[in-house]
Structure 1
Amino acid sequence: MPSSRPRLLPWPGLNGQPCFLVTDDTGTSYLSRLADEMETVQLRTGADLLGHARPLLRDHRANARELRFVGHRLAEALHDALRVAESRGQRLEDGEETTPEQS
């Protein structure tokens, strides 16, 4: 079932503004598949980062520079994960399939 709602893409548009894909396909276009793959990479990267951040945050010898660095990376990963969640939530509302395995 084609969506009437534009798909929020996992990468920013001009000036960091949200970027949307308008299509009448069911997630089979090149850009739709690319967006699915990008979302998967973003979520995997966030999970990997969290795995590295937890020990660093527990390490009392970690210095401020290291903690700021990991804090910034965690904020970026959270931003990406929230964008993925928003995009997938919108597609669920529209009754579309949301995982690459289903397309």
Structure 2
Amino acid sequence: MITPDESPTTGKLRLLPWTTPEGKPCYLSADDPHSRLSLLADDVEAAQLESGEQVLAGARAVLGDPKAGERAVRFALTRAAESLEEVLRVAVSRGRW
């Protein structure tokens, strides 16, 4: 049985930056870090990190606005939580967590 930490070819599986429709993690077992799927995962991770920066800036703006209503704060917090989940997935994928 192959676990998320091992594969027959590389000894490691890469956690991909997306999940199955059921919310389960997806892994890639490949020797070639330049394969189409690896490069796609790299692009998705880069987009997620960039989006996280934008969400952080927006959340800071909302939190810094004393007139921001509950709806704006809830939206900012929801997006921040989504972005944090994506960034943590990238960190795990890159072996930093």
Where in structure 2 are there 5+ consecutive unaligned residues? Answer: 1-8
Distance 1:20 1:14 in 2: 14
Give secondary structure in 1 for the equivalent of 2:22: helix
Where in structure 1 are there 5+ consecutive unaligned residues? Answer: 91-103
* Aligned with 1:59 (options 32, 42, 65): 65
Query: What root-mean-square deviation, in Å, do the aligned CA atoms of Structure 1 and Structure 2 show?
Result: 1.3
Q: Give the aligned length.
A: 88
2:12 paired with 1:10: no
* Aligned with 1:72 (options 67, 78, 92): 78
TM-score by length of 1: 0.81
Partner of 1:32: 38
More strand by share: 2
Q: CA deviation at 1:13?
A: 1.7
Distance 1:64 1:39 in 2: 31
Q: Which runs of 4+ in 1 moved over 4 A?
A: none
Q: CA deviation at 1:32?
A: 0.1
TM-score by length of 2: 0.85
Larger relative contact order, structure 1 or 2 (CA cutoff 8 Å, min sep 6): 1
The amino acid that maps onto 1:5 is K
